Amino acid sequence: LWNEILDKGRDVLPPGAAGTWLKTCLPLEISGGMLVLDVPNVFIKEQIQSRFLLPLKELVRALGVAEDVELKVGSEIRPNEQKRAEAAAMPLQSQRGGLNPNYVFDNFVVGKSNRLAHAASLAAAESPGVAYNPLFIWGGVGLGKTHLMHAIGHYVCDNQPGAKVVYVSSEKFTNELISAIQNNRTQDFKAKYRSVDVLLIDDIQFLADKESTQEEFFHTFNSLHDAKKQVVISSDRPPKDIQRVEERLVSRFEWGLVTDIQPPDLETRVAILQKKAEMRGYEVPEDVIFFLAQNIPSNIRELEGALNRVVACSELNGEVISVENAAEWLKDIIRNVMRGPVSIDLIQHLVAESFGMPVDDLLSTKRTSDLALARQVAMYLCREHTEASLQQIGYAFNKKDHTTVLHACRKIDELLKTDLRVKSVVDNVRKKL
Ligand code: ADP
Ligand code: MG
């Protein structure tokens, strides 16, 4: 993982940051979301602080490894030399025209949520310019749009050597155009983009308000489309909802096939985590995979980040990967997920107070009838007043699965009709929420 940070750092940190400065550091541990780096001396520490500490923190956060970074000078605890050697021997990613080598169809897990987008991408890759042109893929952040576009690119390169494949974000397209205009090189720009066989243009929504870029893209699009060259476009929303982009352009987006990617269901999340773990050679027990899939539902990038964090924490702290440890290492992330307008924590406190018992009892395994009732009331209220899933509520009450929560909700639903005490406690807590 440290290698990954160094590797990505070469792209996103200032020049020399990873190659010169970071290389001299070693990761010591991750605790409480803090990545602690061992820095050889004060000079280097100051250099890092003044040159790129903030972007480094962002990078570490983006990879999901930790929330923050601390630099420690001259630590006695030096991880073995072997790790340093490994870091030095790390291969540089071979770039195939800007395509990420890992984003291939083989590594893409297909589930209900992305089946159609995957099938359409494969068809476009198989017969570029013929099947669906343009292919328009839309969906939320971190759901696999970029992965599919790169996969199309790799597939075409593999099967039609000599085909010219260009992947570009609409931001980069804009910047290239601007610099071409400034340097009187617009002819080169036009020649470059109008001669490709497959154009993959990512996050098209960024063309909003950029009139001259839209104009240029319009002509590029037409010329490629006329020549039956494949165009693949991605966006965070469907064409009809793209604002501040010319109508004539948006209507062209609908000429071919428009397909979406939805957030993955639990089974797909599990399969994706297993795939990622396998690809990276991580040994992660099944129950931990499930735990991550259940508790980090939002998007696949975050899911991967959580997996990275768990493996990094285990490596650096020398502790086993278990559900218990994972819950501890991911505390901050999981708590964020559970954050709704009302927190589970608050409900637990209010219910415990109403029943006149310590919160700890509510979360314990003790089984008096009063406690059982209090727990059920609290779970019921969490279900009603937070956005947490049944699994998340179960986890917050130290329950292994969600059936206990489901049962509690049904039970309290019934009791509310007949039991005045339960009704008064529930009403009482609701008032305070
Ligand atoms: P988007 O472009 O939609 O924001 P990305 O394509 O960048 O999302 O995907 C985010 C991360 O999730 C990437 O690391 C990608 O490999 C991974 N990912 C997304 N969908 C899948 C999938 N179905 N199978 C395997 N990995 C996936
Ligand atoms: Mg993307």
pLDDT at 93: 33
Query: From atom 11 of ligand 1, which residue's Cα is the shortest distance away?
Result: 301
pLDDT at 337: 53
pLDDT at 295: 86
pLDDT at 75: 55
Q: Is the CB of 63 under 6 A from ligand 1?
A: no
Q: Is the CB of 279 under 6 A from ligand 1?
A: no
pLDDT at 117: 96
Q: What one-character DSSP code corresponds to residue 205?
A: G
Which stretches of the chain drop beneath a pLDDT of 70? 74-97, 297-298, 335-341
pLDDT at 89: 37
Q: Is the CB of 142 under 6 A from ligand 1?
A: yes
**Minimal CA–CA distance to 293: which of 283, 309, 282, 304?**
304
Q: Is the CB of 38 under 6 A from ligand 1?
A: no
If you measure from the C-alpha of residue 301 to the centroid of ligand 1, how many angstroms do you get, rounded to a whole number? 6
Q: Is the CB of 8 under 6 A from ligand 1?
A: no
Query: From atom 14 of ligand 1, which residue's Cα is the shortest distance away?
Result: 301
pLDDT at 378: 95
Closest-lying ligand to the alpha carbon of 141?
Answer: 1
Q: Is the CB of 176 under 6 A from ligand 1?
A: no
If you measure from the C-alpha of residue 64 to the centroid of ligand 1, how many angstroms do you get, rounded to a whole number? 14
- Ligand 2 is an ion; its neighbours by CB within 5 Å are 145-146
**E strand residue ranges, 284-329:** none
Is the CB of residue 399 less than 8 Å from the CB of residue 388?
no
Atom of ligand 1 minimally distant from the CA of 300: 12
Could you tell me which residues are beta bridge partners of residue 30?
35
pLDDT at 336: 57
**E strand residue ranges, 44-111:** 68-73
pLDDT at 139: 94
pLDDT at 306: 93
Q: Is the CB of 144 under 6 A from ligand 1?
A: yes
pTM value is 0.65
Place of tokens 């975050």: 302
pLDDT at 218: 96
- Backbone phi, then psi, for 111, in 5-degree steps? -140, 180
Give the angle 8-11-14 at the CA atoms, nearest 5°: 115
